Structure 1
Amino acid sequence: MAPETGNNLKIVMFPWLAMGHLIPYLEFAKLIAKQGHHVFFVSTPRNIQRLPKIHPSSLLPFITFVSLPLPPTAGLPDGAEATTDLPSHLVKFLKLSYDQLHIPMAEFLNSSAPHWILHDFASYWLPPIAFQLGVKIGYLSTLNPEFHGFMGPVSAMKGGEGSRKKLDDYIVTPTWIPFPTTVSFPYYDVKKIFDKLSQNTTDDGVSDIHRFADVIQSSDVIAIRGSYEFEPEWFNLLNQIYQKPVFPAGHFPTTEHDPTQDETEPWKFIKNWLDNKKQGSVIYVAFGTEAKPTKSEITEIALGLEESELPFFWALKTRRGPADGDEIQLPEGFEERIEGRGVVFRSWVPQVKILGHESVGGFVCHGGWSSVMEGIKYGKAMVLLGFFGDQGLNAKFLEERKIGYPIPREESDGWFTRRSVAESVRLVMVEEQGRIYRDRVKEVRPLIVDEERQDKYVVDFLDYLKKHRNCKR
């Protein structure tokens, strides 16, 4: 670890209130701390409490957690502080409450006098505060460069040249991408999120596209999760369309935070079950902290896993917080029929430990980028079934690179069948035709796990922050 000196930085990190953003931000905070700089990690009390413990402990002196209570907002259930606590239709109230953090955030920044702020896509209101206080601010994205490249320049996001007016505009390659690619949104995904891609501001708050555009436009520097080795053409594109410094931040895949997890009862049970399966035979199934399939989708997934005749471990989240009254139910008799061959686990699981187990050969996931990075880190072939947001777009990129195989779906409504689930799982896991996915993920794995390369991306970015910090702070 680099020694702490007078040239070291004080950096505030402020992620959006979703575990898929909080955990990658924490991973990047650890990489910054490893270089001897101090991080103030700002979030709400409950989110800070549920973050994994810092490991190794030698990083603890370099990371300070700062709790800002989330202001109460009409429509937001008590105790909800992250998207994982809420059914999707209530997330808009979380954003309204999040936006009210501008006053306590300004007070904290004024008292702590950091050199830089690294913030997420949602806090469009933070750059003006930073400017007023004389603090430099950067956008640190947990999303990939493919997503940003597809969304395009700020002018297009703000309704200017190249802007998209209709749903069909999002299912084709935009004119500003100069190289061949299949990356775009599936039609069924755009239907779900079209309101978030609109520039209109309503009583429900500011749209996501407005937040993205303002954050990109107002930040002094941009760092995006990814690397030149993995996505060179996309980073070159972003440098052209953003017209400001764009740094690859590396992939920072999730690490095993707490060694004491080895002693927990859930992991003991999971490990014992996996230990009794053949190497590479088990398909691990998990759709992240936010995705919630419908009852009919769950039925097709379950019966497809059953039809595949392969052993599987399914980490199933049955509801999104106490306000979600519609708990997921599996088909009647399913668990009895798959007993011994499959397990459905309804509480939290140590995903990186499961993926790291030698009996796991494949990963059925939603295509969220943190899960994708974890799958690649452990060399697991992926079957992709996205449910919202950037997941369908990610799946197209991964299929383009033959790193993951999307389950075939109806373009109009996203429907898939148990047969398509079974056939996709068998293709990626055991069939000769799917060997390319098993081989390709192992080929790209070194790009994700190379710690020396990851540290270089962090050091290069920090060198820029040191050179351009405001010396008055």
Structure 2
Amino acid sequence: MATIMSSSQIDHLHFILIPLMSPGHLLPMIDMAKLLSHHGVTVTIVTTPVNTARFISTIPRAVESGHRIRLLELPFPATTAGLPEGCENMDSLPSRSSIKSFFVASSMLQKPFEEAFHELKPPPSCIISGKNLAWTVETARKFRIPRFFFDGMGCFAFSCTHNMEVSKVHETVSEFESFVVPGLPHRIELTRARLPESLNPGSTDLIDVRNKMISAESVVDGILINTFEELELDYVKQYRKIKGCKIWCIGPVSACNKLSSEKAERGGGGKDAIYYLKWLDAQEPNSVIYACLGSICGLTGSQLKELGLGLEKSNKSFIWVIRGGQRSLELEKWLADEKFEERNKDRGLLIRDWAPQVLILSHPAIGGFLTHCGWNSTTEGVSSGVPMVTCPLFAEQFINEKLVVEVLAIGVSVRVQRAVTWGMEDKCGVVMRRENVKEAIEKVMERGKEGEERRKRAREVGEMAKRAIEEGGSSYLNIKMFIQDVLHLQHTKIGSQLCE
């Protein structure tokens, strides 16, 4: 039975968060730190110099608001592991071949972290790590504290993936032949061409990395998930049954950012936020499509042209987020040659590099979100209460699309037929077509009965998301139960030490 918490006991709890250095993992764990510290615990986030710079204003603002959040900055051994100097985040990897080196460098953080461990005050009560960081298992055992991992994937996607792994149903069909995922509360059809790389490998180069992650997942004291029970209750139940350990749904964690300043600064996207808001203020309510395909989208220029032309042909106002740097050179040349920005200046805004997504999605002018269906973006879209245009690319994104379009019925698919292989996008052929982008946008933005019903459902799900993290909500209560369980584990540890 868990110990009933007192404020003095909570004051002595200290949670160490060790995220994988990737936007999809780092951002939600910073949000999680805010949620945990709101309940009175001390939280330390392990980071590296380049990553610290991405949220240098976020943490001080949280501390000013009374949050007990600290940073433990460790040097990232990029060059030692064979990476370019300053390559400290997965969105800056130069190629697929550097992924292994990145995980080698990440594992080299173990020694400096353990050296710093004894200096941390109060003494750490637990480690919450990205599930991809296998070295944290050994460290937690060494210091005899519980280790939990943060799952960046939703319960629906996990259930689908697990049921396919067990049944191997996908192995009996051709590439584009539909099959039904067995054992689910809903009828979900997929094709092998749309499956995550773990189920449909386009290359064998990352098998060792993947196997280490899987083995680390099985050694855990519990799992925290960025979802809320009302969103996918049937699948939360399946997740719990399959995993057989304690599970806490604590999301959507991005909803902890309530002030415009918090939303603007999240992830380092605040410098031009005022300009974006002024542009949106000039638009009609529910009239703008916000299009963003994630932080590690590596689609070729020719494919991104199709997206841009689809946005243009829809005749809707739009914000389009594109990556900066070397990977966008072909696209930038096309944009300049075609005078794309000039001819769309009255209804189109392009944002390069990082955008304050949560801030933009919360603006009344946004009428739809064109997304790659990464889980963070999916939960952020859900929280915003706007319908989605789904354009999945890789990993479990095609499965998340099924949740949005078919289970929740708050989205319309661009009908992408094949997943790309991350880092090998130039070998994947045609992924999206401008006509399909245009049609999906028009359907999401239509004012007829079907469109109104979709918008109504999206608003209802958005309200549920906000209530989940408010005081008394399901995720709020799950965080309280999680803290209570850590406190109980700490007392059990102290008791066992006194008996030794």
TM-score between the two structures when normalised by the length of structure 2? 0.82
Tell whether the 8 Å contact from 1:150 to 1:173 is kept in structure 2 after alignment: no
In the TM superposition, 1:323-338 aligns within 5 A as 324=327, 326=329, 328-329=331-332, 330-331=334-335, 332-338=338-344
Q: Does 1:436 align with 2:442?
A: no
Cα distance in 1 for residues equivalent to 2:374 and 2:486: 29
Distance 1:167 1:458, change over 3 A: farther
Tell whether the 8 Å contact from 1:402 to 1:436 is kept in structure 2 after alignment: no
Which residue type is aligned with residue 395 of structure 1?
A: E
Q: Deviations over 1:127-157 (max 9, x none)?
A: 122112211111121221122223328xx97
Distance 1:183 1:246, change over 3 A: farther
Which residue type is aligned with residue 483 of structure 2?
A: L
Give, in angstroms, the shift of residue 188 of structure 1. 4.0
Q: Where does residue 6 of structure 1 map in the other structure?
A: 9
Distance 1:47 1:245, change over 3 A: same
Which residue type is aligned with residue 449 of structure 1?
A: K
Tell whether the 8 Å contact from 1:185 to 1:392 is kept in structure 2 after alignment: no
Q: Where does residue 468 of structure 1 map in the other structure?
A: 489
Q: Deviations over 1:76-131 (max 9, x none)?
A: 11101111212451333211211222222332335434111111121112212211
Cα distance in 1 for residues equivalent to 2:31 and 2:451: 32
Unpaired runs of 5+ residues, structure 1, are: none
Distance 1:186 1:23, change over 3 A: farther
Which residue type is aligned with residue 403 of structure 1?
A: I
Cα distance in 2 for residues equivalent to 1:167 and 1:190: 16
Cα distance in 1 for residues equivalent to 2:147 and 2:198: 32
Out of 51, 58, 74, the position equivalent to 1:53 is: 58
Out of 440, 443, 449, the position equivalent to 2:466 is: 449
Q: Does 1:247 align with 2:263?
A: no
Distance 1:257 1:48, change over 3 A: farther
Q: Where does residue 121 of structure 1 map in the other structure?
A: 131
Distance 1:285 1:119, change over 3 A: same
Deviates more, 1:434-443 or 1:34-43: 434-443
Tell whether the 8 Å contact from 1:70 to 1:81 is kept in structure 2 after alignment: yes
Tell whether the 8 Å contact from 2:391 to 2:416 is kept in structure 1 after alignment: no
Distance 1:347 1:220, change over 3 A: closer
Q: Where does residue 359 of structure 2 map in the other structure?
A: 353
Give aligned-pair identity as a percent.
Answer: 24
Distance 1:312 1:92, change over 3 A: same
Which residue type is aligned with residue 208 of structure 2?
A: V
Q: Where does residue 148 of structure 1 map in the other structure?
A: 158
Give, in angstroms, the shift of residue 189 of structure 1. 4.9
Distance 1:305 1:15, change over 3 A: same
Tell whether the 8 Å contact from 1:284 to 1:360 is kept in structure 2 after alignment: yes
Q: Does 1:85 align with 2:102?
A: no
Deviates more, 1:297-306 or 1:96-105: 96-105
In the TM superposition, 1:196-235 aligns within 5 A as 206-208=208-210, 210-235=211-236
Give, in angstroms, the shift of residue 328 of structure 1. 3.0
Give, in angstroms, the shift of residue 336 of structure 1. 2.5
Distance 1:183 1:47, change over 3 A: farther
Q: Where does residue 316 of structure 1 map in the other structure?
A: 322
Q: For this pair of structures, how many residues does the alignment match?
A: 458
Which residue type is aligned with residue 433 of structure 2?
A: T
CA-atom RMSD, angstroms? 3.1
In the TM superposition, 1:123-202 aligns within 5 A as 123-152=133-162, 172=179, 175=182, 177-182=183-188, 187-190=193-196, 194-195=200-201
Q: Does 1:416 align with 2:432?
A: yes
Distance 1:341 1:79, change over 3 A: same
Cα distance in 1 for residues equivalent to 2:116 and 2:466: 36
Cα distance in 2 for residues equivalent to 1:359 and 1:457: 33
Which residue type is aligned with residue 111 of structure 2?
A: I
Distance 1:134 1:196, change over 3 A: farther
Give, in angstroms, the shift of residue 164 of structure 1. 8.4
Which residue type is aligned with residue 83 of structure 2?
A: L
Q: Deviations over 1:168-227 (max 9, x none)?
A: 69985555x3423417576145469844997xxx6x67333x244223210011122222
Tell whether the 8 Å contact from 2:372 to 2:392 is kept in structure 1 after alignment: yes
Cα distance in 1 for residues equivalent to 2:242 and 2:8: 37
Q: Where does residue 305 of structure 2 map in the other structure?
A: 299
Cα distance in 2 for residues equivalent to 1:300 and 1:288: 17
Give, in angstroms, the shift of residue 410 of structure 1. 3.0
Distance 1:173 1:96, change over 3 A: farther
Tell whether the 8 Å contact from 1:168 to 1:187 is kept in structure 2 after alignment: no
SS in 1 for 2:350: strand
Cα distance in 2 for residues equivalent to 1:298 and 1:408: 15
In the TM superposition, 1:240-279 aligns within 5 A as 240-254=241-255, 255=257, 259=261, 266-279=272-285
Distance 1:36 1:253, change over 3 A: same
Q: Where does residue 39 of structure 1 map in the other structure?
A: 43
Deviates more, 1:186-195 or 1:86-95: 186-195
In the TM superposition, 1:17-36 aligns within 5 A as 17-36=21-40
Q: Could you list the structure 1 runs, at least 4 aligned residues long, displaced by more than 6 angstroms after superposition.
A: 262-265
SS in 1 for 2:215: helix
Give, in angstroms, the shift of residue 4 of structure 1. 5.2
Q: Deviations over 1:425-458 (max 9, x none)?
A: 0100125243333221111112211112132121
Cα distance in 2 for residues equivalent to 1:27 and 1:264: 16
Give, in angstroms, the shift of residue 74 of structure 1. 4.4
SS in 2 for 1:367: coil
Tell whether the 8 Å contact from 2:252 to 2:383 is kept in structure 1 after alignment: no
Unpaired runs of 5+ residues, structure 2, are: 420-427
Tell whether the 8 Å contact from 1:193 to 1:388 is kept in structure 2 after alignment: no
Q: Does 1:109 align with 2:131?
A: no
SS in 2 for 1:152: helix
